[in-house]
Amino acid sequence: MGTGTLFSIPAVAHAIVVLSLVGCLGLALGQVRVRGVSLGIAGVLFAGLAFGHFGITAQDAVLEFLREFGLILFVYTIGLQVGPGFFSSLRRQGLRLNLLAASVVVMGVALTALVSRFCAVPGAAAVGMYSGAVTNTPSLAAAQQTLKDLGASLDAARLTGIGYAVCYPFGIIGTILAMVLVRWVFRVDATQEARAEKQEGAASEVVPVNIRIENKNLDGLPVAKIPVWHALGVRFSRLLHKGEVSVPRSDTVVHLGDVLRAVGPKESLGELVLVLGSRSEVDLKSFSSGIVSRRIVVTQGAVLGKTLKELDLADRFGVVLTRAARAEIEFVPGSDYAFHFGDTLLAVGEEEDVARFSALVGNSPKALDHPQLIPLFAGIALGVLLGSIPVRVPGVLVPVKLGLAGGPLVAALVLSRIGQLGPLSWYMPISANFMLREMGIILFLACVGLRSGGQFVSTLTQGPGLRWMACGALITFLPLAAAALYGRLKQRLDYFTLCGTLAGSMTAPPALAYANSLSAASSTSMSYATVYPLTMLLRVALAQAMVISLL
């Protein structure tokens, strides 16, 4: 079969070639930077629009399948990525930032409803404008899936894609403009705020300190009865007594003149020194003894979900865990710390004891590089079934479903939270997650672009495209500006925490990259990660709600 035949027959092979070219050109377009800003993955959509405009497309049935398959891969892997942090982000320390980010989402939805009503924008186009204005592709996917479930015409789905495309470029720029607005209005000195943030971060950094016991009230007490150390979140890794270094257990007795090596947040260690005695110049780690420290990776299913208190490591194994790292965040594990697949632990103890503990938890880094495929397919199947369950909602003519966007997302959130079910683990290596996620979104955006390209240029030049673009700019900028001013004036957020929150509220990596380019302050990425899970879920759910209410 020659090349001409391949391109003249609308076959699967033809669709694969077209989609591959759209993906290649779109990714290349997305990497082009103008003043430090790029389209990113949305370049694939614009490449698809160009192909569709010139009539280079594929069979609708093939595009429909690939679009939905790409959607499932994307939302499921997004759920696995944000799931572990979603529930923890709702705790007290992240509640304030999540409420601020949620207000951006809700204000955007309210503005979209007003635009649709008073600017005579069709409901399908308005939802697409909303998704593009907030640079949130999963909400576009959810909206198009809901349109299909409600029996809307193919033209309605195309309008959604066009609305997304015309509003997306300013969606990226608008977030950055909001950051610039805050910096200009409040005359923010980025260098000074970054320095203050660094000093504050140093206070909570996990560090070791050697402490000499000088408090007479502690003489003869077992380690378990030393005051405040549990409350301060520190661990004791070594004890020097009469020239010998050992790993302190809960029943180990301390005496005046002994030296304890403690690990914990810097500010907490300062308080602990005041209780125990004074800092010692003796570095217990430098003593030649049989005590070693090893970094160990949790890969053994038998310990997953169990807590330190249940395993009683210090007394059973003679091992102390001084640090744990999960999702690149390091902390001191407390007694309620539960083992998760992929956690990295710093264990201190005798060589043989550490080896026994290492065997207990697995410590097989190769296991992290090989994703378990049975849980992947089982989770996807569960998500699709969950999304197919109809739910009757009062006042809505047809049953509401989570669909292929909401079902896999909810399933992934729950499964990643569970982490382990018998022999099945829903841990997925970052590289594997990224590959599947990017493949899914590329397939989805390419298919959306190919199906909407025939009407995109005419809508933009001869139709209401420019008016939609202006309305989209309002949907982007006004909620961000209001939240930015409130966050700075009322919540007294520092500049980089605020920037991370704004970028997270728009789920906009380009805006996060811009904020990070101003300073290496960790608060930007931390606040982004704190609000991202809830924001993502809200945008997907509210996009579906808008489709139901606006049509």
The DSSP 8-state label assigned to residue 38 in this structure reads -
Whole-angstrom Cα distance, residue 98 to residue 152? 34
Please tell me whether residues 362 and 384 are part of one structural domain.
no
Global pTM value: 0.61
Whole-angstrom Cα distance, residue 232 to residue 247? 20
Q: What angle do CA 447, 449, 453 make, to 5 degrees?
A: 130
Greatest alpha-carbon span in the chain: 92
Please tell me whether residues 158 and 274 are part of one structural domain.
no
Other CB atoms within 10 Å distance of the CB of residue 467: 14
Please tell me whether residues 35 and 152 are part of one structural domain.
yes
Please tell me whether residues 490 and 460 are part of one structural domain.
yes
Q: What is the pLDDT of residue 213?
A: 92
Identify the domain containing residue 232 by its residue range: 204-367
Please tell me whether residues 222 and 178 are part of one structural domain.
no
Q: What is the pLDDT of residue 5?
A: 45
Domain boundary among 342, 367, 392: 367
Please tell me whether residues 184 and 211 are part of one structural domain.
no
Terminal Cα-to-Cα distance of the chain (whole angstroms): 47
Please tell me whether residues 72 and 188 are part of one structural domain.
yes
Please tell me whether residues 191 and 209 are part of one structural domain.
no
The tens place of each residue's pLDDT in the chain, 551 residues long, gives 444 444 455 567 888 889 999 999 988 987 887 765 566 777 887 888 889 888 888 887 888 888 888 878 877 887 787 666 556 555 545 788 889 999 999 999 999 999 888 888 888 889 989 988 887 777 887 787 778 777 777 677 778 888 887 887 777 678 878 888 888 888 776 666 655 555 554 445 667 888 999 998 888 888 888 887 777 778 888 888 888 888 888 888 999 999 988 887 777 788 888 889 999 888 887 776 677 888 888 877 677 777 877 877 766 777 888 888 765 566 777 777 778 777 888 888 888 888 888 888 887 776 666 677 888 899 999 988 988 887 776 665 556 666 776 788 788 878 887 776 767 777 777 778 888 888 888 888 888 788 777 777 777 777 787 888 889 889 999 999 999 999 988 888 888 888 888 988 887 766 766 676 666 555 676 677 678 777 877 887 788 788 887 76
Please tell me whether residues 322 and 393 are part of one structural domain.
no
Please tell me whether residues 275 and 304 are part of one structural domain.
yes
Please tell me whether residues 129 and 259 are part of one structural domain.
no
Q: Which run of H or E residues covers position 135?
A: none
Coil, helix or strand at residue 253 = strand
Whole-angstrom Cα distance, residue 17 to residue 231? 61
Domain boundary among 317, 334, 367: 367
Whole-angstrom Cα distance, residue 454 to residue 291? 70
Q: What is the pLDDT of residue 202?
A: 45
* Domains identified in the chain, total number: 2
Whole-angstrom Cα distance, residue 499 to residue 512? 8
Please tell me whether residues 318 and 419 are part of one structural domain.
no
Alpha helices in 242-364 (DSSP H): 266-276, 308-311, 313-316, 351-361
In Å, what is the CA distance from 2 to each residue of 7, 8, 17?
Answer: 9, 10, 14
Q: What is the pLDDT of residue 519?
A: 64
In Å, what is the CA distance from 104 to each residue of 214, 483, 512, 548?
Answer: 54, 6, 16, 21
Residue count (the chain): 551
Q: What is the pLDDT of residue 7?
A: 47
8 A C-beta contact, residue 113 and residue 550: yes
Q: What is the pLDDT of residue 86?
A: 59
Q: Which amino acid is at 405?
A: A
Whole-angstrom Cα distance, residue 179 to residue 494? 12
Domain boundary among 336, 367, 398: 367
Q: What is the pLDDT of residue 139?
A: 81
Tokens of 38: 């790029």
CATH number of the domain bearing residue 252: 3.30.70.1450
